[in-house]
A and B are shown apart, each in its own frame.
Chain A
Amino acid sequence: MSAPIVPNFDDSADEGRKLAIICSKGNLDMAYPGLILGNAALGEGIETHLFFTFWGFDMITRSRMGDLKFTPVGNTATHMPMGLTPLPGMTAMATKQMKKTIADLDVPDVPEFLEQIVAAGGHLWACRLSADMNKLSDADLYEGVEGIISATDFIEKTAGAQLLFI
């Protein structure tokens, strides 16, 4: 009798595989790719680091993280007549709709998603320059953020990692 077919959960094969995700956007729609991919990587046992920089800083800023917005302005993929997209209320409406669509699929909102990533062992880092530009400190940031670090620090921490810039 041949040996049973058993899935390869060889955890050691992933030992050393790392993923670094740089989140540089503060739009609601651009927050999700990094969160979803980071979460997926953690579920595969991969060491994952997220670095929040420039507009991506909004994703970890307490006062803003729950209030990211989606705008159809300039986004041809919405297939709306572009002349209508800047009308008053359009961004609010589009944001509300996107939030509902995401929630209906039981995908968490941004603060809860970060919580899930941290619980799964993910590492969150804030960009030093972005903190300085926005005059923000640790106290203004989501508590799961491990530290405000420089670009150099992040590059050091993620030596050998595969990298995603979003």
Chain B
Amino acid sequence: MTVTEIGGRQVHVDAEGFMTEPSEWDEALGTVLASNIGMELTEAHWRLIRFLREDFATQGETATTRRVATVAGVPTKEQFALFPKKPAKKMAYIAGLPKPRGCV
């Protein structure tokens, strides 16, 4: 476990930089994480980030794009448009959650 400074505070991250302590996250930090990977968040992005947070809180696992499509009702296509190329990983990173481990 590594500690790094993001947005002026110390947070725990894994070797790749994904946060490992969901409780250290808040939306202000989410904005900084997004800018770290060159993204600016709109309300449409936030809707997904918030869903991921709520879903993780109840499921204990990061939602896959499939789950975001079926449970949050945001179509796959829209997820790729909002978080280009690697939607599952980018959403998880900004939401301060581990990478999804599901295959689908």
- Known A14-B85, A43-B88: A7·B18 in contact at CB below 8 Å: yes
| Contact assessment for A9 and B37 in the assembled complex, using a CB-CB cutoff below 8 Å | yes
**In the complex the two chains form, what is the Cα distance from A40 to B15 in whole Å?**
22
Instruction: Check B77–A119 contact: CB distance below 8 A.
Output: yes
Shortest A17–chain B CB gap in Å is: 11
A-contact 0/1 string along B43-82, CB 8 Å cutoff: 0000000000000000000000111011000011100100
- In the complex, which residues 3-53 of chain A have their Cβ closer than 8 Å to any Cβ of chain B? 4-9, 11, 14, 36, 39-40, 43-45
Residues of A within 8 A of B17 (CB): 4-7
Given the complex of chains A and B, what is the CA–CA distance between A40 and B17 in angstroms? 21
B86 at the interface (CB under 8 A from A): yes
A116 interface residue per 8 A CB criterion: yes
B103 near A5 with CB under 8 A, answer no
Whether A4 lies near B85 (C-beta < 8 A) is no
Q: Min CB distance, B75 to chain A, in Å? A: 6
Q: Is A147 an interface residue (CB 8 A)?
A: no
Q: Decide: B85 and A8 in contact? CB cutoff 8 A.
A: no
CA–CA, A40 to B86, complex, Å? Answer: 10
Interface residues of A, CB < 8 Å — how many?
A: 24
Contacts of A7 in B (CB 8 A): 16-18, 37, 89, 93
CB pair B76–A120 under 8 Å, yes or no, is yes
Asked if B37 and A116 make an inter-chain contact with CB atoms under 8 angstroms apart, the answer reads no
Asked whether B104 lies within 8 Å of A106 as measured between CB atoms, the reply is yes
Residues of B within 8 A of A111 (CB): none
| Cα-based distance from A62 to B17 in the complex (angstroms) | 44
CB pair B2–A5 under 8 Å, yes or no, is: yes
Chain A residues 80-133 with CB under 8 Å of chain B are 105-108, 116, 119-121
Q: List, in ascending order, chain B residues with CB within 8 A of A39's CB.
A: 104
A159 at the interface (CB under 8 A from B): no
A147 to B88, CA, bound (A): 29
B104 pairs with A36, CB closer than 8 A? yes
- Give residues in A with beta carbon < 8 Å to B: 1-2, 4-9, 11, 14, 36, 39-40, 43-45, 105-108, 116, 119-121
Name 6 interchain pairs, CB-CB below 8 A, sorted by A.
Answer: A4-B6, A5-B4, A6-B37, A9-B90, A9-B93, A116-B76
| Supplied contacts A4-B17, A39-B104, 5 more A-B pairs, CB within 8 Å | A4-B6, A4-B36, A44-B86, A106-B104, A107-B66
